[in-house]
């Protein structure tokens, strides 16, 4: 095919576009496309094996009895779910008690987190000096949260720990717990809830602080010129604009309470007498601490019940958020 030349501005012929260039571009684009998919392929393959396969395996296992060692499963249909809900006289009461403790924590943790984090964020937003230092101090619990911190809390809450010593030294010895705060059935669950709130306040405070700094200051100045005090500004302007952040913090608190069982495992292991047993801990113990009993299917069924409950709460939270907007 003959190349077509055009006349340039100086009267000289100019070469037209070469037919090879589009072909080179397509080849280069195809090479880039293949290179990109080659980099993504391991992650996709890993997700298919560890994600979809595991989910499918877990769903199937929830309808069977298996101890993890025998070659064959015993297909029982919905019996695992019925045992968890009402049929098994030894399992169902423990599950109901664990569900009650989980529900208490699910309500108390988000409420406590919002009640502490929002005033802290408002205070930090008003402070001009040492703001960076105070942010670092408030964020420190989140950085240090982990197994080591949980063990440190155990030492602090023991019979001769710092909390009891502080109460006795200040004349409040009647409030001290001789057996320790985690070994007393009346204070064990509440103490764990306080520790969870302590760990979740830093992130919530930073989220609220970011939301406060995104509010148009002219809006608040206009309200103050109309005579609105600090409380009315927070109630009628700041709080409505922070509702989406509050919904996100609430959802995070519910998720951490339903899925996170590490703190309950490390600090009390469900004790004393099952007063700190939660659903996540129940599933963990049914799966790995029942010896040769065929409870893996029951643990899988409990995991799926927790997932469905979390999904339902997420949908309700999203609808409430949409209606508030």
Using CA atoms, how far apart are residues 155 and 162, in angstroms rounded to an integer? 8
* pLDDT tens for each residue of the chain, 325 residues long: 444 555 555 555 555 555 566 778 888 888 888 988 999 998 888 888 888 888 888 899 999 998 888 888 889 989 999 999 998 888 899 999 999 999 999 889 989 999 999 888 888 887 777 767 777 776 676 666 677 888 888 889 989 888 999 998 988 888 888 888 999 999 999 999 999 998 888 889 888 888 888 888 888 888 878 877 777 888 888 888 888 888 888 888 887 787 778 888 888 888 888 899 999 898 898 888 877 788 889 999 999 998 898 888 878 877 776 676 6
Contact 124, 205 (CB under 8 A): yes
Using CA atoms, how far apart are residues 113 and 108, in angstroms rounded to an integer? 8
Packed helices 162-169 and 147-156: angle between N→C axes, nearest 10 degrees: 30
Question: What is the fold of 97-295?
Answer: MetI-like fold (1.10.3720)
What single DSSP character describes residue 6? E
Contacts of 174 (CB under 8 A, 6+ apart): none
């Amino acid at each position: 095919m003959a190349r077509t030349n055009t006349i340039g501005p100086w009267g000289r012929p100019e070469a037209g576009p070469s037919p090879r260039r589009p072909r080179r571009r397509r080849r280069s684009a195809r090479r880039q496309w293949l290179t990109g998919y080659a980099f993504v392929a391991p992650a996709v393959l890993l997700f298919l094996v560890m994600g979809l396969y595991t989910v499918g395996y877990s769903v199937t296992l929830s309808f069977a009895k298996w101890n993890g060692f025998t070659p064959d499963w015993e297909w029982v249909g919905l019996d695992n779910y019925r045992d968890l809900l009402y049929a098994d006289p030894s399992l169902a009461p423990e599950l109901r008690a664990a569900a009650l403790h989980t529900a208490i924590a699910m309500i108390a943790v988000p409420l406590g987190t919002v009640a502490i984090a929002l005033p802290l964020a408002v205070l930090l937003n008003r402070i001009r000096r040492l703001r960076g230092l105070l942010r670092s101090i408030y964020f420190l619990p989140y950085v240090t949260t982990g197994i080591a911190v949980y063990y440190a809390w155990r030492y602090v809450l023991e019979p001769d720990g710092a909390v009891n010593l502080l109460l006795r030294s200040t004349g409040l010895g009647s409030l001290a717990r001789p057996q320790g705060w985690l070994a007393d059935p009346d204070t064990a669950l509440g103490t764990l809830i306080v520790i969870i709130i302590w760990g979740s306040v830093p992130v919530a405070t930073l989220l609220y602080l970011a939301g406060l700094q995104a509010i148009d200051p002219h809006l608040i100045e206009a309200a103050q010129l109309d005579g609105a005090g600090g409380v009315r500004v927070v109630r009628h302007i700041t709080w409505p604009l922070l509702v989406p952040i509050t919904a996100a913090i609430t959802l995070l608190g519910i998720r951490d309470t339903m899925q996170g069982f590490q703190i309950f495992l490390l600090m009390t292991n469900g004790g004393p007498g099952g007063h700190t047993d939660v659903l996540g801990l129940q599933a963990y113990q049914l799966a790995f601490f029942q010896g040769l009993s065929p409870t893996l299917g029951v643990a899988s069924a409990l995991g799926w019940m927790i997932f469905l409950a979390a999904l339902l709460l997420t949908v309700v939270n999203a609808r409430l958020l949409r209606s508030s907007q």
